[in-house]
Amino acid sequence: MRLSDEQLARFDEEGYLFFPSLFSPEELRPLVEEVPRLYAQRRVENVREKASEAVRTNFAAHLYSHPFARLARHPRMVEPVVQLFGEPVYMHQFKINGKMAFDGEVWQWHQDYGTWKADDHMPEARAMNVAIFLDDVNEFNGPLMLIPGSHVQGALDAAHDMSTTSYPLWTIDHDTIAKLVARGGIVAPKGPAGSMILFHSCLVHASTSNLSPWNRVSVYLSLCAVSNHIRRFHRPEHIAHRDFTPIACLPDDCLLREYDVPLPWKDRAPA
């Protein structure tokens, strides 16, 4: 999938692109059916919420789940990022965020590059998130909030939040957020399952808790330009990958048909 000149210009200005209903219900089915099986497993790759057993985020399913291994090579998710960077990309991080009904907790305001720079020594902000909704996203189930245009600030000062949620993150102070919002406002792309958001790694984002009765499961591919691979290996491998092999895309129908994909972590011992 190639981005048009108009999309490229909008991305430069706003730092994100939204593609409603990019994937069909038939394409999503194998992914949606796989999530409960993955979340039920006791393994380090499942990070549970602070106050409940609900899975907050599942890491690296593309290395042990057949449908997600195919999604990780989907041309609709990977090719726009290759186009934007003008070079091959590798998978820096792969996560399936739960934001489960009633239990899904907040993600504080942050830039992903803040964490990748501080923790993983990623040299530049030449990495990008591509998220796909596995559930419908509405105003009640904790949609991702973005501050348009905030990516032009580069990496902002951040503090390591080790306490408010179960997953440590470098977060941005409230004064800075208020100033950025005064300039750019807040958007929260909402739409049917199968919608996709592509956003810059310096785009400031957050999400509230999910008090609704609807899950908000979304998959995030964090794709990094190969030449920009991380230099420090402090975080566990399932959170910050060390395999910098360029992703080879499968054909566009890879969620509808079986394709051979490697599953190197399939037989990993549970936690």
Positions in the binding site for ligand SIN (CB under 6 A): 97, 99, 107, 144, 205, 207, 218, 220
Work out what residue 144 binds among Mn ion, ligand SIN, none; the CB cut-off runs from 5 to 8 Å by kind. ligand SIN
Residue 97 binding target from ligand SIN, Mn ion, none, CB below 5 to 8 Å by type: ligand SIN
In the complex with Mn ion, the residue whose CB is nearer, 45 or 112, is 112
* Residues present in the chain in total: 271
Q: Nearest to Mn ion by Cβ — which residue?
A: 112
Q: Residue 95: which of 87, 85, 83, 107 has the closest Cα?
A: 107
Specify whether the CB–CB gap between 141 and 102 falls below 8 A. Answer: no
d(CA 213, CA 216): 10
Which residues are CB-contacts of 110 (< 8 A; sequence separation ≥ 6)? 158, 169, 170, 171, 172, 204, 205, 206
Residue number with CB closer to ligand SIN (111 or 254): 111
**Residue 218 interacts with, from ligand SIN, Mn ion, none (CB under 5-8 Å by kind):** ligand SIN
164 contacts 108 by C-beta, under 8 angstroms:
yes
Q: Which of 14, 103, 112, 135 binds Mn ion (CB under 5 A)?
A: 112
Residue nearest to ligand SIN (CB): 207
CB 144, min distance to ligand SIN, A: 5
Name the one range near Mn ion by CB under 5 A: 41-49, 85-93, 108-116, 239-247: 108-116
CA dihedral 255, 199, 202, 72 (to 10 degrees): 10
From the list 26-34, 110-118, 191-199, 233-241, the region that binds Mn ion by CB under 5 A is 110-118
Nearer of residues 143 and 184 to ligand SIN, judged by Cβ: 143
Among 33, 76, 43, which residue's Cα sits nearest to residue 198? 76
For tokens 């899975």, name the residue: 55
Residues in contact with Mn ion by CB under 5 A are 112
